[in-house]
A and B are shown apart, each in its own frame.
Chain A
Amino acid sequence: MSAQVSLSCDRIERYLGEEEERVHALRGVSLEIEIGSVHAIVGPSGCGKSSLLYILGLLDTPNAGHVSIETETVSHLTDDELAQKRNKFIGFIFQFHFLMEDFTAQENVMIPMRKLGELSDARMRDRAAELLDGVGLGDKLRRPSRHLSGGEQQRVAIARALANDPRVILADEPTGNLDTANSERAFELLQNLVHERGKALLLATHNPAIAEACDWIHEMKDGRIIDSQVRNRLS
């Protein structure tokens, strides 16, 4: 891989649960995600896809191994510093979209920007409107998130993940809750963003069609990456 590495992990070990319920979720997983590439992780339920995603997204800490953002190892960072990295460098998209239901679509997209605190209120509103327009929700800015359909909510979640212009987008089955048409639309949207804006995308999916459309497919089984295939040539 000659392209610039955006996010990587090295020999990650992760145990979940306590005592007799303890599960070895990740067993020495290493992965590199480059700018401008879309990576899919596939595998059966419980193989460790989500666990890997949470560790790469700095939401969880590994029992062994380390995660790096670009060239910086983040294992030694404090909880506050990790939160700051998440805010600035990583955008999350979850299967159940997790929008803040007391807020409108536009306000949901502004929440990460408020935390970053780099833009004025007016600029945040404009940027949120631009992002929502980009995902086809320009006419539903002020609609409360709970009044949006599942597909629309997922698109708001995509716009929100892009709010602080992160270098890496991590998506945990982003289309798992959508119908075929909405799944394709959401994935195309993400794919275009990665290729046009130089982001890196890692998504966990059960959808073979989506996996096939990615640049890389990593197959996981029992906490290990057992196969990595290049599907499309990276620019």
Chain B
Amino acid sequence: MTPPLYIALRFLTHRKRALLLSLSGVVFGVAIFICTQAQTQGLSRYFIESNIGSNGALVIRSRFRPRYEPLMVAAKNSKASTSRRLYFEGITNPNEIMRVSRQFPDVISCSPVLRGTVSARAGFENATVDLYGIDAALHARTTDILRQLIEGSFDDFRNNTSAIIIGSRLAELLQTSVGDTVQLLAPNGEYWRFSVAAIARAGIGSIDSTRIYSHAKVAQALLQQPSGASMIIYKLRERNRAPMLASRFETLFQHNALSWQEREESTLQLFLTLRMSVAITVSLIILLAGFGIFNVLTMSVLAKIKEIAILRSMGYRRKDISAIFLWQGALIAAAGSIVGCLLGALMTWGVSHIPIHLRGLLYTNYFLVTWDWRHYVFATLLAILAVFIASYVPARRAAELPPVVTIRGSR
């Protein structure tokens, strides 16, 4: 143990009240930072997981006409203008696109979906619904539909062409349950009868309150669509590679391709803003803790002014004196961070067990939290930085104290 560390330890442990005050600031700052990040990121991650679990990490939609403008030579005096991309609804040759895209190592599976908006009726209740015509086997492989079922059976849906899976909130709205009949209105004005095989809960309000899954062929006939698919959704090995893959698919297939990041940009930005806002607020707590440490160490320098002079007279260098106070800060930061991380984990666990009844944007019965080691590292780094800044000035001040002035002043 170096002499400055030895002296720093003694200075710290002999001022228990000041030590406790400094430590508690760091401990609570770190713990609250971890806990709030776990909550805000928990909400965001739950939304992302649920969204990707229902809509895929990447989706290919309408075909567009290739642009030939770059090949064209503009006529003299003509004002060359770039025309807007021209889209054609639906996927052209979905089977071929799926066959080719499965060759990409990032793609785990893909599933065609025929999508349309229809009116649903059950008993006396009506609702406008988002009809997803799916291939049961492919869709089960590509999405989390099996995990999302809260009532009924997926096999009942798969084995019955007139069966549907209905979103949980939509089921509540239409007051239907498994085995009940729901009628869907075709564009030609005819009602088609379906039996509810299962109820699914994605956990996202906008999906659960509007979505109905039916068999693709049935949906195609009901919607009177010539195309077999209006989109293809993908499950990827590495979801963060979705934007890169979307760009490649657009070029390759000449179809509009959207990554989940692009598709949910506005909601993700909302979560990010919320997270940043909370992080800034909590960082202020840590900075306040740093201010507390600054005060404690400044008081310590003043209280130890004679000790500093005597240490200097005994041959301790300026940097040794400075190190004594920096070590005090470092010890507070280290102990505060360790205890803060433990308390943060405990608080996060506690918060995750608080019951809440959230039925809006997201569906949850408990606070959503995420366990991410980066929160602990970031909180610790923030605490170290704040404590270092707080210790630096008193440490420097202590090092600059001329010992002779103190000794003369004590006569």
CB-nearest residue of chain B relative to A116? B315
Binding-face segment, A85-93, A135-143, A193-201: A85-93
Q: Which residues of chain A from 82 to 123 have any CB-CB distance to chain B below 8 Å in the complex? A: 83-88, 92, 94-96, 98-103, 107, 111-112, 114-117
| A102-B307 Cα distance, complex, nearest whole Å | 10
Q: How many residues of B contact A (CB 8 A)?
A: 26
Is A15 positioned at the interface, with any CB of B under 8 Å from its CB? no
Pick the contact of B404: A60, A85, A100 (CB < 8 A): A60
Chain B's interface: helix, strand, loop or mixed, by majority? Answer: helix
Q: B313: shortest Cβ distance to chain A, in Å?
A: 5
When C-beta atoms are compared, the residue in chain B nearest to A88 turns out to be B315
Whether B6 lies near A114 (C-beta < 8 A) is: yes
Residues of B near A164 (CB, < 8 A) are: 315
User: Residues of B with Cβ closer than 8 Å to A?
Assistant: 3, 6-7, 10-11, 14, 306-307, 309-320, 403-404, 407-408, 410-411
- Closest beta carbon of chain A to B234's beta carbon, Å: 65
CB distance from B38 to the nearest CB of A (A): 40
- Contact between A103 and B10, CB atoms less than 8 A apart: yes
Residues of B within 8 A of A117 (CB): 3
Q: How far is the CA of A54 from the CA of B234 in the complex (A)?
A: 81
Apart from A87-B315, A102-B14: 14 A-B pairs, beta carbons within 8 A: A60-B404, A83-B312, A84-B315, A85-B315, A86-B315, A92-B310, A98-B307, A99-B310, A101-B307, A103-B10, A115-B315, A115-B316, A115-B320, A117-B3
A23 contacts chain B at the CB level, 8 A cutoff: no
A57 within 8 A of B: yes
CB neighbours of B10 from chain A (8 A)? 102-103, 107
Nearest B residue (CB) for A45: B411
Interface membership of A18, Cβ < 8 A: no
B8 to chain A, nearest CB (A): 11
A interface residue count range (under 10 / 10 to 19 / 20 to 34 / 35 or more): 20 to 34
Closest to A164 in B: B315
Residue of B nearest to A161 (CB): B314
B320 touches A98 (CB 8 A): no
A111–B407 contact, CB under 8 A? no
A57 touches B313 (CB 8 A): yes
> Once the chains bind, are B312 and A100 in contact (CB under 8 Å)?
no
B410 proximity list for chain A (CB < 8 A): 94, 96, 98
**What's the minimum C-beta distance from B12 to chain A, rounded to whole angstroms?**
10
Q: Are B317 and A112 in contact (CB under 8 A)?
A: no
B319 to chain A, nearest CB (A): 8
Q: Would you list the 4 A-B pairs with minimal beta carbon distance, nearest first?
A: A87-B315, A102-B14, A114-B3, A98-B310
Name the B residues within 8 Å of A86 (CB-CB): 313-315
Complex Cα gap A84–B14 (Å): 28
Shortest CB-to-CB span from A114 to chain B, Å, is: 4
Question: What residue in chain B is nearest A54 (Cβ atoms)?
Answer: B404
Known contacts being A50-B411, A54-B407, A79-B318, is A100 close to B313, with CB within 8 Å? no
Q: Which residues of B contact A83 (CB under 8 A)?
A: 312, 315-318
Is A230 engaged at the interface, CB distance under 8 Å to the other chain?
Answer: no
Shortest CB-to-CB span from A125 to chain B, Å, is 13
Cα separation A114 to B398 with both chains bound (whole Å): 20
| Contact residues, A169-222 vs B (CB, 8 A) | 172
Residues of B within 8 A of A79 (CB): 317-318
**In the docked arrangement, what's the CA distance between A59 and B308, Å?**
13
Chain B's closest residue to A173 (CB) is B411
Q: Which residues of B contact A227 (CB under 8 A)?
A: none
Known A-B contacts A98-B306, A100-B307; the reply to A112 vs B315 at CB < 8 A is: yes
Please name the residue on chain B nearest to A117 by beta carbon: B3
The reply on A80 being an interface residue by CB < 8 A is yes
Contact of B314 among A50, A80, A107, A111 (CB under 8 A): A111
**For residue A55, which residue of chain B has the nearest CB?**
B404
Q: Taking CB as reference atom, which chain A residue is nearest B403?
A: A59
